[in-house]
Structure 1
Amino acid sequence: MPPVAQFTLTFGLVAIPVRLLAATSSHKIGFRQIHLPDQGRVRYTKVCEIDEHPLMPEDIVRAYEVGKDQLVPITDDELDNLPLPTAKTIEVSGFLDLAAIPGEMYDKPYFLAPQNAAANKPYVLMREALARSGKAAVGKYALRGSENLGMIHAQGDVLVLQRLRWPDEVRSADDAAPAHDIAISDEELAGALSLIDALGDVDMQQMHDEYARAVQQLIEAKMAHEAPPKVRQPEAEEAGVTDLMTALQRATEQARADRGEDAEVHRMAGRGPAKKAARKAPAKKAAAKKGVAKKTAAKKTASAKKTGGGSGRRAG
C-alpha cells in the first residue's frame, strides 16, 4: 500500500518516523456520462478563458483571488515548504479520554506505520502507553494544502490517526433536539430496553452495502441482455398499530422469533391487551367454579333419584 505521506510523530522528546496509510477504501460504483443516442463519452475540457486553449493538468496551478481580476498563484512546492512545525511533523499537544471526543468531530481515519526498523520500539512504546491509559493523543499536521487536527489512538497492533474536524466546524445540536419536553413512562422505557435486548449485538462483519450489490447485479444483467432484477417489496405493515407500547411489544416478539428464541413477551400490567386479559381472568375462574358447583349438584340429585326409585320398588 503506497503511503499517503510521511511524518515524524513527536511524543515529548521521542521522535517516531511514521508513514501515513489509507485506512479505508470505497466500493462505490463509478459512472460515466455519455451521449445516449451514440453512447459517446461526455468530456469536460479545461480551457484558458484568455487564449481559449485547452489545458493539460501540468499547466494548471492554484491561485488565490485577492480581488476582481487579481490572482496570486500558489504552487504545491510553496505549500510544502511553508515555515510551519506541522509541515512534516505530527506534534502531540496533549491527551484526552477517547470518550471525551464527540463522534461528530470524527473525519477520515488513517493507519500510522513505522518508516523503518529503528522506529519500531518507540512506536510500540507509544501504542502500549495509549492502550493502557485509555487516552488518545491530540495534535496537528499538514496534509494536501491544509492544516488538520488529528487524534491518535491504539487499535490492536497499530496506531490510528483519526482526522478530526475543528471545534468551530461542528454546529450546535440545539436545533436537532425536540422543541418541548417529552414525558416517557417507565413501561415505555422498559419496552424499548426489551427490544434492544431482543435485537442483540450487531456483527459489523455482516454489514454489507446492498445498494452497490444491486447496482452491480443490474450492470451484469444488462451486459447479458437479461431482465433486471425485480424489486424486493418490503412486507406490508399490519394496520392499526399506533400505540407505542404495542409497537414495541410486537417488534420485540418479531426480533426474538427471528433469533429462534421464545417469542412470548410479558406485557406490562395496565397496558392494552394485557389489561383486558387481567380483567377477564377472574370472570373465567368464577365461571369455572360455578360450573363445578353445578356438576356437583347434578350428581347429588341423580344419586338421590336412584336411591328414591329403588326404595319405591322394594315397597311395592
Structure 2
Amino acid sequence: MPRSIWSGAISFGLVTIPIDVVPATEDHSVRFHQYHLEDMGRVRVRKFCEIEDREIPQDEIGKGYEIAKDQVVAVLDEELRELPLPTARAIEIAAFVPAESIDPLRIGEGYYLQASGTVATKPYALLRKALERSSRVAVAKFAWHGRERLGLLRVRDDAIVLHAMRWPDEIRDPRELAPQEVALSDDEIAEAEHLIGRMTRDSLEGPDFVDHYTEALEQVIEAKREGHAPPEAPEPEAGTGAVLDLMTALRDSVAQAKASRGEEAEAEVHELPKKSAAARTASGETTKKAPAKKTAAKKTAKDTKKETTAKKTAARKTARRPRSA
C-alpha cells in the first residue's frame, strides 16, 4: 500500500472521521532522464543562491512571496499547515448532491480515504453505507498545497474516494468553441445512434483499452539495449480514396463494429419509393405485364375450343345410338 500523503479528518455535521489520504492511481509511464549525448553524462539541475552564488541544499530552501522587488515574505510549511481555516486539517462536507449533477470537467485526481485507527472504523462505515443507499455524492472543502479546494466524495467498492474538484471559474466557457449550426436529418441521427449501440460495452476491458504506446516504447528500449534496430512502425492501411457521404460512413462504421465483434452482417432491407403510373409506363413495367395477359387469353381460347369439341363428340354418340322399339 502506498504511503499516506495527508492526514486529517472527514467532518459532516457533528461527525468526525479520522482519515489518511492515499493515492488511488499509479503512473506506469516510462521515465527518461536528461543526458549529454556526446558522452552520456547525466545533466542535472542545480539550485544556486543569487546573492551568495553557491549551490543550496534542499533543507535551506523554502517558500516566499514577493511583495515587491526588494521585499519578500518567507512562509514556512508549518505556518501553511496551521492556517486559521476549518478546512486546514479537515475535509469538511458542505452538501450531498446527485452524482449526475457534477460536470465531469470539474473532477480531478482521485485519492482513497483510509480510516485512521479503530475509532474511525464505525463512522467511516456509516458514511460509506449512507452514500451507497442515498445514491448521492458528497461535496466538501479542504485546504491542500497552498489553497482551499473543493472535493467530491464517492464510494468505490468498500472505500471512500476523494476527487479534487475545480472551482467554477476554472472551467472555460465552451460556447466560443462550438461549431456553427448544421442541418442533420433524422436518418443520420438514427444511424449514429445505431452505431453507438453497436459500440456500447459493459466494461472497459480488453485489447482496446491497453497502453500500447508504453509497450511499443519498451520494445524500442529493449532492442537498443541488445544492439538491434528499433522495430519499424506498421504501414497504415490504404484507404479507398473515395469521398463518402455521412450516411455511408455511418453504415460502414456499423458494419465494421459488427465485424469486430464477430457478428455476421445483416442484410438491410430498404423500402423502395413507389412509382407513379406514368413512371411505370416510362420504365417499361406496363409493357412487361402484357405477355401475362396474352397467356391468359390463350388459355381461355384453348378452354373454349375444348368445350366445343366435347359437345360435338357427345352429339355424334347420341346420333349413333339405336332407337328403342
TM-score bracket, shorter-length normalisation: 0.7 to 0.9
2:318 aligned partner:
none
| Cα 1:184/1:75, change in 2 over 3 Å | same
Mark the CA change 1:138 to 1:270 in structure 2 (over 3 Å): closer, same or farther.
farther
Aligned-pair CA distance for 1:68: 1.2
Q: Percent identical across equivalent pairs?
A: 40
Residues 249 and 265, structure 1, Cα contact 8 Å, conserved in 2: no
- Equivalent residue number for residue 248 of structure 2: 246
Amino acid at match of 1:255: A
Q: Which residue of 2 aligns with 1:67?
A: 68
Amino acid of the structure 2 residue aligned with 1:102: D
Shift of 1:65: 0.5
Q: Among 222, 232, 235, which residue is 1:233 paired with?
A: 235
The answer for the alignment partner of 1:145 in structure 2 is 146
CA contact (8 A) 1:98 1:135 kept: yes
Displaced runs of 4 or more, over 3 A? 267-271, 283-294
CA distance in 2, matches of 1:293, 1:254: 48
- Give how far 1:242 is off: 2.5
Q: Which has the larger radius of gyration?
A: 2
Aligned to 1:210: 212
Change (3 A) 1:50 1:236: same
Q: Which residue of 2 aligns with 1:91?
A: 92
Deviations 1:137-159 (A, max 9, x none): 11111223222210111222111
- Deviations, residues 52-71 of structure 1 (Å, cap 9, x unaligned): 11111111111001011211
User: 2:8 matched to 1:30?
Assistant: no
> Retained in 2: the 8 A contact 1:7–1:90?
yes
Rounded to whole Å, the distance in 2 between the matches of 1:11 and 1:92 is 5
CA 55–243 in structure 1, closer or farther in 2 if over 3 Å, else same: same
Question: Residues 1-316 of structure 1: matches in 2 within 5 Å?
Answer: 1-178=2-179, 180-201=180-201, 203-206=203-206, 207-264=209-266, 266=268
- Structure 1 contact 253–265 (Cα < 8 Å) conserved: no
**73 and 260 in structure 1: CA distance in 2 versus 1, 3 angstrom threshold:** same
What is the distance in 1 between the residues matched to 2:214 and 2:147? 32
Gapped regions of structure 1 (runs ≥ 5): 272-278, 301-316
Structure 1 residue 217, shift from structure 2 partner: 0.9
Give 1:237 shift: 2.1
Residues 1:67 and 1:256: Cα distance change in structure 2 (over 3 Å):
same
Structure 1 Cα separation of the partners of residues 284 and 49 of structure 2:
90
Query: Cα distance 1:259–1:71, how it changes in 2: closer, same or farther (>3 A)?
Result: same
Letter in 2 for 1:211: Y
Give, in whole Å, the separation in 1 of the partners of 2:73 and 2:13.
38
> What one-letter code is carried by the residue in structure 1 that aligns with 2:190?
A
C-alpha RMSD of matched pairs (Å): 2.9
Deviations 1:159-189 (A, max 9, x none): 11111011111111111211x2222111001
Give the structure-2-normalised TM-score: 0.81
Q: Distance in 2 between matches of 1:77 and 1:96?
A: 34
Q: CA deviation at 1:205?
A: 3.1
Q: For 1:290 and 1:262, how far apart are their aligned partners in 2? A: 42
Alpha-carbon distance in structure 2 between the residues aligned to 1:259 and 1:94: 44
CA distance in 1, matches of 2:47, 2:97: 46
Structure 1 residue identity aligned to 2:257:
A
